[in-house]
Chain A
Amino acid sequence: MRKMRIKAIKFGLLSPKEIRKMSAVKVITADTYGEDGFPIEMGLVNQQLGVIDPGLRCKTCGGRMGECPGHFGHIELAAPVIHVGYAKLIHRILSATCRKCGRVLLSEEEKRGYLAEIERRREKQVDVDEVVKHIFKEAAKNEVCTYCGEYFSIDAEGLDEELDNKSSVGSELRDRMEERGFSISKDAIMKREIDQKRLFCWSRVPGADSKRLIEFLVQEFELPWVKNARISRKDDKTLVLSSGKHSLEFSLSPKRDRANLILQDGISYEFPVKKEGTELSVYSFRWVIVDTDKIYILRRSIDKLNVYCGERQKQIKYEKPTTYKEIDADGKVRRLMPTDVRERLERIPDEDVKLFGMDPESARPEWMVLTVLPVPPVTARPSITLESGQRSEDDLTHKLVDIIRINQRFMENRDAGAPQLIIEDLWELLQYHVSTYFDNEIPGIPPARHRSGRPLKTMAQRLKGKEGRFRGSLSGKRVNFSARTVISPDPDIEIDEVGVPEEIAKELTVTVNVTERNIQQMKETVRRGKNHPGANYVRRADGRKVKVTELNRETLAEELDIGWKVERHLVDGDIVLFNRQPSLHRLSIMAHYVRVMPGKTFRLNPAVCPPYNADYDGDEMNLHVLQTEEARAEAKILMEVQRNIISPRFGRPIVGGIHDYITGLFMLTRGEKRFNKEEALDILRNIDIEGLGEPAGIMDDGTPYWTGKQIFSVILPPGINLQFRNKVCEKCEERGIRCAREECPREAYVVIRDGRLISGVIDEVGVGSFKGAIIDRIFRTLGEESAKEFIKNASRLAINYILQAGFSFGISDEDIPKDAKEQIRDEIIQEAEKKVDKLIRAYEAGELEALPGRTLEETLELLIMQELGRARDEAGEIAGRYLGIENPGVLMAKSGARGSLLNLTQMAACVGQQLVRGERIRRGYQGRTLPHFQPGDHSADARGFVRSSFKDGLSPAEYFFHAIGGREALVDTAVRTSQSGYFQRRLINALQDLEVKYDGTVRETRDSIVQFKYGEDGIDPAKSVGGKSVDIDGILEEEIGTSA
C-alpha cells in the first residue's frame, strides 16, 4: 500500500451548483412509500438515493446493500432561507459591507494592510480570527461607503464663515450644493472632524524636513508651486517657503500644539499637532454633512471644496435566530428578507470576501443563504421495520418531509397569487423547518417534535456531545467479545489467571475451526449447546451462520463437519486481555488465563493489584477475548502477567505481596519461631514442596522443630544468593555506626544463601510490590515462571501463617499508658507551647532575628512550625516506646504492609499542626481563624495546632482546623490527577508514532532519526535493574556470596 501524507484539510461551503451536481435526484414528493409498499419515485426514500433493504439494487450505481454508499439528492427551495449555523456571520458581513455596492466599508489602503496581515499569518500558520474580528469591527463603524458615491468640487469662495459653523448647513453652501444637483434636507447635520494625519520632522536644520512638508502642502492645499519653493527659517518656530511671487509661512504655536499656515494673501489655516518622538503629526480637517440617506464629505483646498457624496449606511439589527432588520437614521425599521440578504451578499466582490478570512473559491458568502437543500442518502437515515411490520422513518427523514411539504405549499400559494401576509408566514415556516433540520436545539425557537412528543434528533444533535458522532462513534467505539464487571480477590488462583463468571463465559465466544483432530470434541461442545462448555453458533463450510438452540443442537452436532467453525464458550485456559482504566501504562492491559467460576465478579489475585492500581472497593475491569491465533500468540509472548513482573517504569518488580501477605511473612520470619512438624506442614499445606529439610533442633519435650525462617526457605528456589537491608534497617552506617549485618538486633540484614534464609526478616523490601528484592532476583536468575511460582507460594505461605497466628488491629491497640499520655501532654506539648509563646513575645518585643532571606514574620512562623513539628515527633516517639513491635499497628508500619509511623503517632499521641499551603492556618476572620480567639493571636491553639490524638478525639476548634487541612489535601489531589492526566495525554499524543527500530535508533514515521540510541544507552528499562543496565552488586553476590 502506498503511504500518503495529508498536506492540508480545507473546509468550505457547498454552493448551489455543487449541490445540484452531486445530486442523483431532485426530490419533490414528501411521501415515502406508496400503497404498494414500494418507494415513490422522486420521494424521500427513493431508490436512487441508495439501498437499505437487502436484495435490492441501487438505481444510481447498481450496487447492492453494503456496496452502494448512498447518493445525495436535492430539494429546490421555493424561496431562499438563512442557514442558521451562519446567521451570526451573515449579520457581521452585512454590517461590514455597503448596502448599495457590497464593498467592505474600509479604504483601499486599509484593505491592503489587512490582507497582507492575513497572508502573513496564514504563512506562519497563526490564527487569522483576530484580524478578521478586527476588520468586522472597524468596517461596521464606517457610516459611509467610499466606493459607490460621486466626487465633485464646488467653489469655496465666501464659504469660510459657514464652514466655521459646525452644526448645521449654511444657506450658501446649501445653494451651491443644489447647483450641482444635490439637495440637502433641513435636518442634515454638519460636523468638522480630523481627517488624516501626516508626520513632520521639525528639525533645526532648514530643508531636512522639506520633502514631507512640501508633500503635505501640495496634496492638501493644491499649491503646485511649493514643489520648487525655497525653504528658509524665519525663527525657531517658523519656516518660510517662497518661489517667485508666491510665498507662505508655516509656524508652530508657542506651545507647539498647533501649526499655522499663512498664505501670502493673509488667509491662514490652523491645524492641531501632536508630538511623537522627534516627529510632529499634523492633522487636517474635513467637514461631514450627514443627511438621511447620504453622507457628504468636504475637504478644503485653497479655493475649492472637494465634495464626496456617498451612500449612508444603515444599521442592521439581527434578531435571533434568523431575522435581519435595517434601521433608518430616523428609526424606521425594514425587514430584510432572505432574498434581500442573498442579493447583498452576492454583490460582495471576491477580493473583499478574502477580508473575512474566507476563500471565495470555496466559500462565497451568498452560499450561506440556501436556495437548494442537499438530501442526504438513505444510508445516512435508514428506516427501520418494526416487529409489527410497520416502517418507522429516521428523524432526518421526518424533518425532510416537513420541509418538502411546506416548500410545496409555498409554491402553490405563490402561484395562486396569495396575499403577501400568507406568503410571509409560509416563508417563516419554511425557515423554521430548515433551521431545525440543521439544529433542533437553537435557543429561542421551539424544538421540532416527533408525534410522540420527543424532540427530533437532527444534524447538529447527531454530531454534538458525548454520544455524538465525534466523541461517541469516532473517538470511542463499543467492542465485541468483551465483558465488564466488578473485581474481587481470590488468592487461590494464579497471578496470571482471571476468574470469569460462568454467565460471562457463556456469552463470550472463541471461534474454533473444526479439524480432523478436534471434531469429536467440537461435536460434544455443540451438543451441549448453551450449557457451559458449549457453543452459541456454528458456521457451516459455506459461511452460513446457525444459532445453536435447544432444538437443533443435537442435529447440528451430528452434521458438524471438518471446515465448519464453532463459536464455543470461553473455557479454562483461554487467553484473554484484562484491563483497568485509566490505562496509564502498558501494564494496565495484561494477558490472563481464564478460570470459569460461579459468582458474578471477575476474580483477581491480589498480587496483581499494583500494576492495575486496582483494589476491591467496587472497581470494575474489562476483559477482551482474543479472536485470532496471531493475537493469542502475541498476547502470550508479550502480555502475560509473569512477563511483566518487572515494570518498565523503574526496572523493579511491580507484582508482589501487599498488606497481609507482607505482614504474614514478616511475622513468620521474625525471630526464631519454633514449629513442630505438624504445624510446619500445616503452614505449608497447599504449597508444592519437596520436603521440610532437617529440623533446626529438638524441643524440650523431645520433638523436632523447624524455625519460621526455615519454613520460608522451603519456598525459595535453591541456588538463590542474596543479601539486602530490609525496611526495618535504621541506616546505621549513615549515622556512622558500623552495620552489624547478620548480627543486626532488628534483623534488618537479610541474607539468603543457596535458597536458605540465613538471617533477617522478610518484609516489603523482600516481597512487596514496587520493591520485592527476592522476586527481582528470582526473576532475573531463574526466569518468569519461577518468579510467578515464588509469588504464588509466598502468598499462600503468608496467608496460611497469618490465618494460623491471627492478626487484628483495634482501637485498644492505640492505647498508651496514662503516664505516657501525661508526659506527652504536660511535658512535650506544654513545653512546645511555652516555647511558641516565647518566640511570639520575642517577636513582639522586636528581639527576634530574621533568618537570611526571610521577613521577621516568616521567621517567626518558620520557627513556630519547627517547634510544633518537633513536639509531634517527640510525642510520637514516646507513644512508640510503649507500642512495641508486637503492636499490630507498628508491625504493619515497620514491615511496610500498610500505614506509617506518622499515622500511628496521629492516632495514639498527637495529630499535630494543620497546614494550608505549607503554612499554619491563617484564613477565617480578620486577624483570627475563629471568633474564639483574640485577633492577632499567633499561639499554637489559635493557628491550627491539634494537640489531641485521633483516639482521644478532637475539640471542636481542632476538628474544624483538621477539616480545613483535610479539604486542601482533597482539592490538591483532585487538581493534580486531572492536570497530570492531561499532561500525560499530551505527551502520549506527541510521542505515539515514535518507534525503536532494530538498529536501536528511535525514529518517527518518516524514518527520520529522533534519537541515535534509545535512552542514549539502548537499554530496555523493563530488562534493567532499577533502571541500571548492569547490576554489579547483584552479580558479585551471586558469584562470591557477598556484595562489595
Chain B
Amino acid sequence: MKKGKVSILAHELVPPHEVMTEGEVEELLNRYRIKKEQLPKIKTTDPVIKEIKAKEGDVVRITRKSRTAGKFLSYRLVTK
C-alpha cells in the first residue's frame, strides 16, 4: 500500500476477508459436500483480494453484517 493512502480494509462497508487454512477449507468443503469449484468466486483483481494478498485457489472467509441474521459467513474461491 502506498504511503498516505487509506486501507480499504478499514472502511466500514468492506467486510473482513480472511484467507482460510487448508484444514478449514477441507472442513468447509466436507460440510457442504462440494468441490472447491462449487463455491462462489471472487476475482484476483478484486481490491480486497489484492489488499490481503490472497492467491488464486485460496478460499476467503467473508464475515458480513446481516440484516436478518446479525452476522453471516460467506466463503469465496479466489479465481482469475
Question: Which residues of A lie under 8 Å from residue B68 when comparing CB positions?
Answer: 1015-1017, 1019, 1029
Question: Residue A992 at the B interface, CB < 8 A?
Answer: no
A738 proximal to B (CB < 8 A):
no
Measured between alpha carbons, how far is A1010 from B75 in the docked complex, in Å? 10
Nearest residue (CB) in A for B65 is: A1016
A1007 at interface by CB-CB < 8 Å: yes
Rounded to whole Å, the gap between the CB of A393 and the closest CB of chain B is 56
Instruction: Please tell me if the beta carbons of B74 and A1012 are within 8 angstroms of each other in the complex.
Output: yes
> Is A1009 an interface residue when CB atoms closer than 8 A count as contact?
yes
Query: Which residues from B are CB-within-8-Å of A1001?
Result: 32
Q: Is the CB of A1016 within 8 A of B72?
A: yes
A1018 to B69, CA, bound (A): 9
Q: Which of B16-70 contact A (CB under 8 A)?
A: 32-34, 37-40, 66-69
Contacts of B67 in A (CB 8 A): 1016
CB–CB A1009/B66 < 8 A: no
Query: Nearest Cβ distance between residue B8 and chain A, in whole angstroms?
Result: 23
Chain B neighbourhood of A1013, CB < 8 A: 69, 72
Q: Which residues of A contact B38 (CB under 8 A)?
A: 1003, 1006-1009
- Asked if B1 lies at the interface with its beta carbon under 8 angstroms from chain A, I say no
CB pair A1012–B73 under 8 Å, yes or no, is yes
Please provide the chain A residues from 677 to 711 with a CB less than 8 Å away from any CB of chain B in the complex: none
Minimum CB distance partner of A1012 in chain B: B74
Taking CB as reference atom, which chain A residue is nearest B76?
Answer: A1009
The reply to whether A1009 and B32 form a contact with Cβ atoms under 8 Å apart is: yes
Nearest CB in chain B: distance from A620 CB, A: 39
B17 to chain A, nearest CB (A): 15
Contact (Cβ within 8 A) A1016 B32: no
SS class, residues of chain A in contact with chain B: loop
Q: Whole-angstrom distance between the alpha carbons of A1003 and B37 in the complex?
A: 13
A997-1038 vs B, Cβ < 8 Å mask (1 yes, 0 no): 001010100111111110111110000000001000000000
Given contacts A999-B32, A1007-B38, contact A1012 B66 (CB under 8 A): no
Residues of A within 8 A of B37 (CB): 1008
Whether A1016 pairs with B34 at a CB distance below 8 angstroms is no
B63 to chain A, nearest CB (A): 12
- Chain B residues within an 8 Å CB radius of A1015: 68
Q: Which residue of B lies closest to A999 (CB)?
A: B32
CA distance A1012 to B75 in the complex (A): 8
CA distance A1029 to B66 in the complex (A): 14
- Please report the number of residue pairs spanning A and B whose Cβ atoms sit closer than 8 angstroms: 38
Residue of A nearest to B73 (CB): A1012
Question: Number of B interface residues, CB 8 Å?
Answer: 15
A1026 shortest CB reach to chain B, Å: 13
Q: How many A residues touch the partner, as a band?
A: 10 to 19
Separation of A983 and B16 alpha carbons in the complex (Å): 33
Within 8 A of B (CB), among A977-1006: 999, 1001, 1003, 1006
Q: Which of B39, B67, B68 has most A Cβ within 10 Å? A: B68
Q: How far is the CA of A1007 from the CA of B29 in the complex (A)?
A: 13
Q: How far is the CA of A723 from the CA of B73 in the complex (A)?
A: 37
Once the chains bind, are A1009 and B69 in contact (CB under 8 Å)?
A: no
CB-based nearest B residue for A1019 = B68
Name the residue of chain B whose CB is nearest to the CB of A1024.
B68
Give the docked Cα–Cα distance between A26 and B54 (Å).
67
A993 → chain B closest CB, angstroms: 15
Chain A residues with CB under 8 Å of B32's CB are 999, 1001, 1009, 1012
Q: Is the CB–CB distance between B73 and A1009 below 8 Å?
A: no
Cα separation A1017 to B38 with both chains bound (whole Å): 21
Q: Does A1009 lie within 8 Å of B72, measured CB to CB?
A: no
Closest Cβ of chain A to B69, distance in Å, is 4
CB distance from A827 to the nearest CB of B (A): 49
Residues of A within 8 A of B34 (CB): 1007-1009
Q: Which residues of B contact A1016 (CB under 8 A)?
A: 66-69, 72
Enumerate chain B residues within 8 angstroms of A1018, measured Cβ to Cβ: 69
Give the shortest distance, in Å, between B18 (CB) and chain A (any CB). 16
B-facing mask of A917-942, CB < 8 A → 1, else 0? 00000000000000000000000000
Is B66's CB under 8 angstroms from A1017's CB?
yes
A1003 to chain B minimum Cβ distance, whole angstroms, is 8
Using a CB-CB cutoff of 8 Å, which residues 933-989 of chain A contact chain B? none
Which residue of A is nearest B68, CB measured? A1017
Min Cβ gap A307→B in Å is 54
Q: Which residues of B contact A1011 (CB under 8 A)?
A: 74
A1017 contacts B69, C-beta separation under 8 Å: yes
What residues of B have a CB within 8 angstroms of the CB of A1019 in the complex?
Answer: 68
Q: From residue A615, how far is it (CB to closest CB) to chain B in Å?
A: 34
Closest to B33 in A: A999
Interface centre among B66, B69, B73 (most CB of A within 10 A): B69
Q: How far is the CA of A1015 from the CA of B40 in the complex (A)?
A: 16
Q: In the complex, A1029 Cα to B38 Cα: how many Å?
A: 29
CA distance A1015 to B75 in the complex (A): 15
A1009 to B75, CA, bound (A): 10
- Shortest distance in angstroms between B29's beta carbon and chain A's nearest beta carbon? 11
- Encoded as 1 (CB less than 8 Å from any B CB) or 0, chain A from 409 to 420 comes to 000000000000
A1009 to B59, CA, bound (A): 14
What B residues does A1007 contact at CB under 8 A?
34, 38
Chain A, residues 825-854, CB within 8 Å of chain B (1/0): the string is 000000000000000000000000000000
Smallest CB–CB gap between A940 and chain B, Å? 45
* Shortest distance from the beta carbon of B35 to any chain A beta carbon, whole Å: 9
Q: A1011-B74, A1016-B72, A1029-B68 are in contact. List 19 more A-B contacts (CB 8 A).
A: A999-B33, A1001-B32, A1003-B38, A1007-B34, A1008-B34, A1008-B37, A1008-B38, A1008-B40, A1009-B32, A1009-B34, A1009-B38, A1009-B39, A1010-B40, A1012-B72, A1012-B74, A1012-B75, A1013-B72, A1015-B68, A1017-B69
- The 10 sampled A-B contact pairs (Cβ below 8 Å) are A999-B32, A1003-B38, A1006-B38, A1008-B40, A1009-B40, A1013-B69, A1013-B72, A1016-B68, A1019-B68, A1029-B68
Residues of B within 8 A of A (CB): 32-34, 37-40, 66-69, 72-75
Q: Which 5 A-B pairs have the closest CB atoms?
A: A1017-B69, A1017-B68, A1008-B38, A1016-B72, A1016-B66
